[in-house]
Structure 1
Amino acid sequence: MKARRRSANPTAVTLLVALLLTGCGGEAPVSEVPLPVLANNPAAHDERQVATHGVVRHFEDPLHYWIEDEDLNRVEVFPHERIAPYLGEAVRVEGLFRFSRSEGRRLTLERIERLGSG
């Protein structure tokens, strides 16, 4: 008698892959990506969880906030009300990075921390 081969359940396989990609905590892994890399190759990090750092700046009309480094590499940060209290400060941010030719480089905050001045 021949043994029957069972095919894998597609839902179970999808769930397993998702767990392996996100780890046990259920969150997507965060990659440390310097601002120059995000500025020069944004498409490579589109729709990924990233962490980067810079100084918070803003512009009034239209209102927007971003972080930038000493070479003026920039990423806009959302939501504005969460980043606004850090204006002028060096911060490390984590969140979902998105890039589009029409809207530029954007990061939606999940975590933010002040960095030391040294």
Structure 2
Amino acid sequence: MKRFGSGILLAALALALALALALAGCGGDSGPRETPLAVLATDSEALGGSRVVTEGVVRHFEEPLHYWIEDEDLNRVELFPHEAIAPHLGERVRVEGAFAFSREEGRRLTLERVEVLATAD
């Protein structure tokens, strides 16, 4: 009978540990995910709804007005709000924000933070 009780106790401890590990892995906001523009371009659907950090050079187009960042391979993500990124036109920046993707609107990042890395040549 004593052996049976020990087995139940060990099983209960194992279950509690597994539950604690599962909750630790799922619980809370783990922060933004470091994601190169190439990955945002190729895995857009899977990353939609994620908070990401990425970097590139700020570019824009007047008609219709929009701003984006791009890497040397021309992978691009549109940035919002425009007034937060407009002062950084031509600069290499590191941005953090909420990433979204839709087939109608493309890849978009709503900015939470912008850090200037360098002025583009």
Percent identity reads 64
Task: Show the counterpart of 1:42.
Answer: 44
Amino acid at match of 2:44: P
Task: Show the counterpart of 1:77.
Answer: 79
Q: Secondary structure at the match of 2:40?
A: helix
Gaps of 5+ in 2: 1-22
Decide which of 98, 102, 105 is 2:104's aligned counterpart.
102
Question: Are 1:54 and 2:61 an aligned pair?
Answer: no
Q: Normalising by the residue count of structure 1, what TM-score does the alignment of the two structures yield?
A: 0.77
Task: Show the counterpart of 2:88.
Answer: 86
After superposition, the C-alpha distances for 1:48-89 in whole angstroms (9 at most, x for unaligned) are: 100000000000000000000011000000000100000000
Q: Normalising by the residue count of structure 2, what TM-score does the alignment of the two structures yield?
A: 0.75
Question: Are 1:63 and 2:57 an aligned pair?
Answer: no
Decide which of 14, 17, 20 is 2:27's aligned counterpart.
20
How many residues matched? 97
* RMSD of equivalent CA atoms: 1.9
Shift of residue 117 of structure 1?
5.5
- Partner Cα distance (1:88, 1:116) in 2: 9
Structure having the higher Rg? 2
Runs of 4+ in 1 over 4 A off after TM superposition: none
Q: Secondary structure at the match of 1:72?
A: coil
Shift of residue 20 of structure 1?
2.0
Gaps of 5+ in 1: 1-15, 23-27
With over 3 angstroms needed to count, the CA separation of the structure-2 counterparts of 1:109 and 1:80, relative to structure 1, is same
